[in-house]
Amino acid sequence: MPKVTWVLGNGKEITAEVPVGHNMMEAAVAHNVPDVIGECGGCLSCATCHVFVDPAWFAKTGGPSEMESDMLEITMVDRQATSRLSCQIISAPELDGLVLKVPRL
């Protein structure tokens, strides 16, 4: 199962296995990653699951879709070059080792 690491605002790390097909927002909520909220349940309506993809992994996750990019305009912490809404990043074998940085709210 792909392993994913969230790096928190305070430098602490949380690593968990995320079943293929699950998204990174639900995985973060399941593992108590603070500041990934996922209020809308992953339907691209709230922008509360914002993460910065580690630049080394951005080619593998890819960039946001058009709708997602629009929603990144209302994140609590301003978007950066590798910003994604984590509900739109779906676990897959090639994402084993993925590192996501969580903005500090």
Partner 1 sequence: MPDPIIIIGAGQAGASLAARLRALGYDGPLLMLGEEPVPPYQRPPLSKKYMSGELDLSRLLIRPESWYEEQNVQLRLSTPVASLSPRERCVTLADGTALRYAKLALTTGARPRRLPASIGGDLAGVFTIRNLADVDSLAPTLVPGKTMLVVGGGYIGLEAAAVGAAKGLQVVLVEMAPRILQRVACHLTADYFRDLHGRHGVIIRESAGLRELLGDGGRVTGAMMADGTLIEADLAVIGIGITPNDDLAREAGLTVDNGIVVDGSCRSSAAEIFAAGDCANFPWRGHRTRLESVQNAVEQAEHAAASMLGAAGDYNPVPWFWSDQYDVKLQIAGLNRGYDDAVLRPGKREGSQSVWYFAGDRLVAVDSKNDALAYAFGKKIIEAGRTIPKAVAADPAADLKSWAMGTAR
Nearest distance in Å: CB 100, partner 1: 19
Nearest distance in Å: CB 62, partner 1: 18
Separation of first and last alpha carbons in the chain:
29
For residue 19, the surrounding DSSP H or E stretch is none
13-17 vs 83-85, strand pairing mode: unpaired
For residue 53, the surrounding DSSP H or E stretch is strand 50-53
DSSP letter at 27?
H
Q: Which position among 1, 56, 67, 76 is part of the footprint of partner 1 (CB under 8 A)? A: 67
Q: Which of 39/94 has CB closer to partner 1? A: 39
DSSP letter at 41?
S
Query: Is 70 a residue that touches partner 1 (CB under 8 A)?
Result: yes
State how far the Cα of 87 lies from the Cα of 96, in Å rounded to an integer. Answer: 17
Query: Is 4 a residue that touches partner 1 (CB under 8 A)?
Result: no
Per-residue binding string, partner 1, 22-41, x by CB under 8 A, is x---x--xx-x-x--x-xxx
State how far the Cα of 55 lies from the Cα of 35, in Å rounded to an integer. Answer: 20
Q: Which of 8/57 has CB closer to partner 1? A: 8
Residues that bind partner 1 (CB under 8 A): 22, 26, 29-30, 32, 34, 37, 39-41, 43-47, 66-67, 70-71, 73-74
